[in-house]
């Protein structure tokens, strides 16, 4: 009996000392115009693990690469991107907030104070609605972004409406707290991709964005978001065609789970590469 009791104490002690991490699962869905202007549907589930300055994300499918894993080491500002299928990994640096600010200033100086050629009018409305989720209170915001490019960019105006709920807890997805609002040149990267400017022959230095905000800035971790973009595509014939794309994601799990510390390490048998093999 004493031996059994001692064994129980050992097991209980080991379970208490086992390292844990915050696990967040997000389900994403998209309907995007395809190359032949047909809607292409995609579903993806991503699992995040957060432990102190370390982050790990597991993508069930990432574009044409299949399942992917990323490991962020916020303390050393290093990002590892792993391809389990290929047993390969890539290494890159994570810019600090100071690095981003410096890049913004350099981009601003490089523009020689030229007028903006891409204007974002961003209006956010706090609906006042709240709901409970995962032991936290979520607040409801609707943000409308009108994107107006100048003629030199050869693009049509577009509009995006984001219907989102924000939990009253820190956004743990990134190494350092960041604003949900883009700022300056660096902040335009995601927004211009949504509007279809990336991949049209214009390099990022050609784009001089200006952001005009109205309403409050949402704070906290995004519980769910549905982003609907209305845009106009110009066909090779010169004909204009209306297009709509929908991107949505929702947190389906937030839990504290025991983990193996090697979860945040690159496996020793993975090969470091500059580009993944096909």
Handedness of CA 178, 116, 205, 82 (dihedral sign): positive
Q: Residue 25 CB: number of other CB atoms within 10 A?
A: 15
pLDDT digits over 174-219, tens only?
Answer: 887 666 665 544 343 333 333 334 334 444 447 888 899 999 999 9
pLDDT at 256: 96
**What integer pLDDT is reported at residue 44 of this predicted model?**
87
| pLDDT of the residue at 235 | 73
From CA 17, how far away is CA 24, in angstroms rounded?
Answer: 22
* Cα gap 259→49, rounded to integer Å: 9
Quick one: which H or E segment has residue 50?
strand 39-51
For residue 123, is it within any domain?
A: yes
**Are 110 and 205 contacting, i.e. CB atoms less than 8 angstroms apart?**
yes
Structural domain count of the chain: 1
| Any domain includes 12 | yes
User: Residue 70 is part of which domain span?
Assistant: 2-272
- The pTM is what? 0.79
Residue 139 belongs to some domain of the structure: yes
Domain membership flag for residue 278? no
Structural domain includes residue 277:
no
Residue 157 lies in a domain: yes
Q: What is the pLDDT of residues 133-145, one digit of tens each?
A: 999 999 999 999 9
Q: How many CB atoms lie within 10 A of CB 135?
A: 8
Cα 249 to Cα 224: distance, rounded to the nearest angstrom: 6
Cα dihedral 240→142→167→255 (10° resolution): -30
> In this predicted structure, what is the pLDDT of residue 63?
64
Does a structural domain hold residue 117?
yes
User: Would 99 be classed as within a structural domain?
Assistant: yes
């Amino acid at each position: 009996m004493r031996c059994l009791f001692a064994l129980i104490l050992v097991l209980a002690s080991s379970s208490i000392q086992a390292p844990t991490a915050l696990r967040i699962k997000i389900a994403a869905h998209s309907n995007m115009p395809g190359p032949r202007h047909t809607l292409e549907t995609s579903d993806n589930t991503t699992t995040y693990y957060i432990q102190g300055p370390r982050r790990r994300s597991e993508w069930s499918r990432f574009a044409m690469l299949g399942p992917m894993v990323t490991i962020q080491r916020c303390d050393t500002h290093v990002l590892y991107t792993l391809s389990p299928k290929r047993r390969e990994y890539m290494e890159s640096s994570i810019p600090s907030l100071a690095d981003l600010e410096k890049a913004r200033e350099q981009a601003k100086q490089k523009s020689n104070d030229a007028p903006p050629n891409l204007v974002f009018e961003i209006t956010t409305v706090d609906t006042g609605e709240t709901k409970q989720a995962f032991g936290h209170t979520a607040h409801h915001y609707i943000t409308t972004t009108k994107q107006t490019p100048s003629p030199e960019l050869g693009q049509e105006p577009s509009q995006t409406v984001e219907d989102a709920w924000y939990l009253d807890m820190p956004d743990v997805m990134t190494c350092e707290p960041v604003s949900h609002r883009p700022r300056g040149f660096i902040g335009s990267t995601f927004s211009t991709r949504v509007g279809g400017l990336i991949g049209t022959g214009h390099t990022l230095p050609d784009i001089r964005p200006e952001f005009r905000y109205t309403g409050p800035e949402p704070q906290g971790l995004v519980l769910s978001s549905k982003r609907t973009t209305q845009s106009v595509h110009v066909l090779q014939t010169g004909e204009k065609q209306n297009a709509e794309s929908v991107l949505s994601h929702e947190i389906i799990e937030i839990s504290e789970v025991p983990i193996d510390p090697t979860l945040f390490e690159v496996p020793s048998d993975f090969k470091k590469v500059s580009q993944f093999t096909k």
